[in-house]
């Protein structure tokens, strides 16, 4: 009987130690996640300082009037981003979602943003539209909202830009 009790005691110690190790590992994982978030925040502040930051967001106004295929952005004649849309992303935009298309640094002054939209209209015709938006970058963060719409009766895509204050 004493041997069984000693055996149970000796088996319980490794299990308790394993439980302590699991707890320590969980604490270390939480600390790593906190440090990772802090590093990401610091990295964003260094890479994109608020005084020179430009962010462009995409929204879609019409419900299912336009099936978005791709969007390309050019800043001062240089390509800065392009995005091909999946069915899931299209659905998200149609339900009022907002997509961050671009974040970058830009000096103060006059600039030109060119937007190229490729989509299919409700009439199942392929369309490609280009829009140019000239704006002045002022000190501080600049956020532009790019809105896509395809109003009836022709369902031709319209691109509009609004400066978020």
Q: What is the domain count for the chain? A: 2
Range in 21-25, 65-69, 152-156, 161-165 with the lowest mean pLDDT: 152-156
Q: Are strands 53-60 and 142-149 parallel, antiparallel or unpaired?
A: parallel
Q: CATH no. for residue 72?
A: 2.60.40
Q: On the CB side of 93, how many CA atoms lie within 13 Å of its CA? A: 27
Q: Evaluate if residue 92 carries a pLDDT over 70.
A: yes
Q: Evaluate if residue 4 carries a pLDDT over 50.
A: no
Same domain, 42 and 59: no
pLDDT tens digits along 119-136: 887 777 888 889 999 988
Where are the alpha helices (H) located in 48-153, listed in sequence order? 87-94
Residue-number span of the structural domain to which 61 is assigned: 53-164
Same domain, 17 and 58: no
Of the candidates 13, 31, 47, which is a domain's last residue? Answer: 47
Distance (Å, whole) CA 26 – CA 18: 12
């Amino acid at each position: 009987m004493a041997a069984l009790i000693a055996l149970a005691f000796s088996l319980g110690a490794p299990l308790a130690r394993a439980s302590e190790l699991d707890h320590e590992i969980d604490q270390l994982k939480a600390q790593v996640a906190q440090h990772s978030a802090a590093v990401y925040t610091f990295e964003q502040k260094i890479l994109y300082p608020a005084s020179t930051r430009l962010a462009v967001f995409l929204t879609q106004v019409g419900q299912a009037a336009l099936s978005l295929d791709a969007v390309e952005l050019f800043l001062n004649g240089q390509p800065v981003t392009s995005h091909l849309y999946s069915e899931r992303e299209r659905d998200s935009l149609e339900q009022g979602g907002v997509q961050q298309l671009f974040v970058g640094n830009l000096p103060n002054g006059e600039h030109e943003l060119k937007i190229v939209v490729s989509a299919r209209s409700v009439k199942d015709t392929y369309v490609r539209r280009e829009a140019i938006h000239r704006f002045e970058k002022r000190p501080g963060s600049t956020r532009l909202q790019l809105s896509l719409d395809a109003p009836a009766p022709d369902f031709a895509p319209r691109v509009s830009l609004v400066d978020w204050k």
